[in-house]
Amino acid sequence: MSLKDQINSMDMDVIVEMCINQEQQAIDLYTLARDQAKDESSRQKFQELVDMETVHKVSLSNFEIENYIELPPADLKVTDYLIEPELKGNMTTQEIIILAAKREDKTARMYQDLADHFHFDKKLNTFFQMMADEELRHKHDLETEYENEFLQEG
């Protein structure tokens, strides 16, 4: 059964729980990477990612669709053409940001696809659109940070 078919047969609470689990998986991954990081700068960046995903997880637990205002951030596409690095212990901060931005991009696309698929169901459509926007916002923030630090063009 495809993901879309599964979602079609789920209650809203279960769908939210599934998305919370997704966030928890990201938190677990970044926590593991933080603990394996070989230098302080990488540890700090992974911790920031853990914090970012934790905030999202908590907001999902408390979300109300009625309060959602659609404000999609711009997709800066700064990291779209860059090589995706492997998650490993000795990553540079530059690699970590590229990796995280690409993960946010993929997740945003998945949620956008689900939002588009459930265009006929206002509740599901709005929920997935909100998720897609949030992931894109994370990508936007990471790419802004990337531009400021790694594309100084000196």
Partner 1 sequence: MKRERPQSFNKVPMKERLTIPRQVMPEQDATVRSGNFLEVNLGLTPEQAVVEAQRCIECKNPTCMDGCPVNIKIPDFIQLICNEDFIGAARKIKEDNSLPAICGRVCPQESQCEEVCVMGRRFEPVAIGRLERFVADYAMQHDDGSEEIIEKPTSTGQKVAIVGSGPAGLAVASDLIKEGHEVTVFEALHEFGGVLVYGIPEFRLPKVILRKEVATLEAMGVKFVKNFIVGRTMTIQELMADEGYDAVFLGLGAGLPRFMNIPGENLNGVYSANEFLTRSNLMRGYEFPEWDTPLYRAKHAIIVGGGNTAMDAVRTAKRLGADEASIVYRRSEEEMPARNEEIHHAKEEGVKFMNLVNPIEFISDDQGSVVAAKCLRMELGEPDESGRRRPMPMEGSEFVMDVDMVVIAVGNGSNPLISQTTPEIETNKWGNIVADEDGRTSMDGVFAGGDIVSGGATVILAMGAGRKSAIAINEYLKAKVRS
The contact set with partner 1 (CB under 8 A) reads: 39-42, 44-45, 48, 74, 76-77, 80-83, 85, 93-95, 98, 144, 147-154
Question: Which CB sits closer to partner 1, 121 or 149?
Answer: 149
Tally the C-alpha atoms within 13 A of residue 76's C-alpha that lie toward its C-beta.
18
CB of 83 to partner 1, least distance (A): 5
- Cα–chain-centroid distance for residue 125? 18
DSSP SS3 for 19 = helix
Sign of CA dihedral 76, 80, 81, 84: positive
Amino acid at site 144: T
Question: Which CB sits closer to partner 1, 23 or 95?
Answer: 95
Length of the chain: 154
Query: In terms of Cα–Cα distance, which of 94, 129, 84 is closest to 109?
Result: 129
CB of 3 to partner 1, least distance (A): 29
Question: Which CB sits closer to partner 1, 17 or 145?
Answer: 145
CB of 143 to partner 1, least distance (A): 10
Question: Which CB sits closer to partner 1, 70 or 153?
Answer: 153
Phi, psi of 110 (to 5 degrees): -60, -45
CB of 38 to partner 1, least distance (A): 8
Sign of CA dihedral 86, 87, 89, 90: positive
CB of 67 to partner 1, least distance (A): 27
Question: Which CB sits closer to partner 1, 7 or 85?
Answer: 85
